[in-house]
Amino acid sequence: MMALRRAALLGLTLLAGSLPAIAADDPPVSALPSQPAMPDPLVARDGHTVKTAEEWNTSRREELKALFTHYMYGKAPEPHQVVFSVERVDRQALGGKATIKEMVLAMGLQQAVKIHVLLAIPNKRVGAVPVFVGPNFYGNHAALKDPAIRLSTAWMPDRAPGVKNNRATDESRGTQEATWAIEDSIDRGYAVATFYCGDVAPDHPGLNDGVFTAYPKPDKNGWGAVRAWAWGVSRVVDYLLTEPDLDKSKIAVVGHSRLGKAAIVAGAFDERIALVIPLQAGCGGTAPSRGKIGESVQQINDRFPHWFCDEFKTFNTQTDRLPFDQNGLMALIAPRPILLSNAVDDQWANPSGQFEALKAAEGVYRLLGTDGLKADKMPEVGVLVDSTQGYFIRPGKHSMGREDWQAFWKFADKHFGRNGAK
């Protein structure tokens, strides 16, 4: 009898333990209030306004992270041990200007997931150098034209230059060189670390390879590709922190478009990242979900069902019920510098809505003692707003290139205290 009762109790405990994060805590969309304007991140779930930095840091920040996890990006697993190994070192790369390291980061069950990292460090340096880290769209071999760089063997979309039958060929080498401008970063005294996003999560709806083989998508609140790419950035940061030539307090994350969404998520969830640059990230990243310009939540979920957790789809036609907006994601980065970078012809990414969201995060930036966003309206085209909350918009279309990097370097020089650096 006793044994039976114990078994029944145990059964109940197990059942309770396996329930998804209590319904009362995270109500379904129908039970959430309509909030037509972007919610103020300083207003906590119970309705009171956070008034001190301490309360923000010790409680509201975590509450907001949990909300973004549950309703939008999904849960990321704790990493199993990450094993780093050196694949190749070239101390005379870029005509002797840089040291290139190709690393393999292995993790997950049976270390099945392998992230290949390309790290370029300037040879001309005094002490440890700051580093930009970011995922790339088409493989490390595309980011720099150097025949010695390992050609990715991972699945790749056929739209990528030089890719045939979803595999990279030699023709894809160096095709993203202008996008990454690595040599210029080296000349400016920055290291650059990049990895192919598809090593972590191939960009297609299956979600059945890459990191998902070793850490499956657990349930409807499981992670989507954006969270997985951001998690990949954090695994690369794990490695960068072990590199003696890099300044551990000066790690900047950068990403373009869908990978810009990953960059801001990485910055929001990983406080080891000191500076965050999402470029033209738009809907699901830096543009308000409630925005009326450019891509809508419904459109992004329909076209890219694998980017967010399934719960996010329930907001498709009722974004006013989201208990946060992307200003909240920016607030999670405070007090660290963030630069939203845009292009005039890229209205799909809603540059003006991004500016409004940035402004609507300022309360948190001010509470944490920074100068916030020193602009009341969008700056002139080509003019960098370089306050802790930075903003930049250039002429032209949706792309990443040297003109964007000019703003990144300037912004990072200022906030990393490198003004005057060459």
- Report the candidate in 202, 212, 263 with the shortest Cα–Cα distance to residue 234: 263
- CB nearer ligand GCU, residue 168 or residue 225: 225
Of residues 328-357, those binding ligand GCU (CB under 6 A): 348
- The rounded distance, in Å, linking the Cα atoms of 124 and 221 is 47
- Report the candidate in 59, 72, 76 with the shortest Cα–Cα distance to residue 26: 72
CB of 340 to ligand GCU, least distance (A): 14
The answer to the question of residue 210 lying near ligand GCU (CB under 6 A) is: no
The answer to the question of residue 283 lying near ligand GCU (CB under 6 A) is: yes
Q: What does the block give as tokens for 195?
A: 């990895």
CB of 232 to ligand GCU, least distance (A): 16
The answer to the question of residue 258 lying near ligand GCU (CB under 6 A) is: yes
CB of 224 to ligand GCU, least distance (A): 13
- CB nearer ligand GCU, residue 239 or residue 315: 315
- The rounded distance, in Å, linking the Cα atoms of 59 and 80 is 27
The answer to the question of residue 300 lying near ligand GCU (CB under 6 A) is: yes
CB of 257 to ligand GCU, least distance (A): 3
Query: Got the DSSP string for 187-199?
Result: HTT-EEEEEEHHH
- CB nearer ligand GCU, residue 153 or residue 299: 299
Q: How far from 193 is each of 40, 48, 102, 129, 375, CA to CA, in Å?
A: 35, 42, 10, 12, 32
- Report the candidate in 204, 222, 82, 201 with the shortest Cα–Cα distance to residue 135: 201
- CB nearer ligand GCU, residue 279 or residue 407: 279
The answer to the question of residue 257 lying near ligand GCU (CB under 6 A) is: yes
In three-state secondary structure terms, 105 is strand
- CB nearer ligand GCU, residue 131 or residue 322: 322
- The rounded distance, in Å, linking the Cα atoms of 323 and 41 is 9
Residue numbers annotated as active site: 257, 398
- CB nearer ligand GCU, residue 134 or residue 282: 282
The answer to the question of residue 326 lying near ligand GCU (CB under 6 A) is: no
The answer to the question of residue 415 lying near ligand GCU (CB under 6 A) is: no
Of residues 381-410, those binding ligand GCU (CB under 6 A): none
- Report the candidate in 170, 151, 173, 162 with the shortest Cα–Cα distance to residue 102: 151
- The rounded distance, in Å, linking the Cα atoms of 283 and 92 is 41
Among 26, 40, 243, 295, binds ligand GCU (CB under 6 A): 295
* DSSP-derived secondary structure letter, 154: S
- The rounded distance, in Å, linking the Cα atoms of 307 and 318 is 19
Residues 411, 389 contacting (CB under 8 angstroms): no
- The rounded distance, in Å, linking the Cα atoms of 347 and 294 is 6
CB of 314 to ligand GCU, least distance (A): 19
Number of residues forming the site for ligand GCU (CB under 6 A): 7
Residues whose CB is less than 8 angstroms from the CB of residue 14 and which lie 6 or more positions away in sequence, other chains included: none
Q: What does the block give as tokens for 358?
A: 């940035």
Residue 298 CB: number of other CB atoms within 10 A?
15
- The rounded distance, in Å, linking the Cα atoms of 301 and 224 is 11
- CB nearer ligand GCU, residue 61 or residue 258: 258
CB of 319 to ligand GCU, least distance (A): 15
- Report the candidate in 114, 147, 117 with the shortest Cα–Cα distance to residue 134: 117
- CB nearer ligand GCU, residue 136 or residue 387: 136
CB of 258 to ligand GCU, least distance (A): 3
CB of 296 to ligand GCU, least distance (A): 10
Binding site for ligand GCU (CB under 6 A): 257-258, 282-283, 295, 300, 348
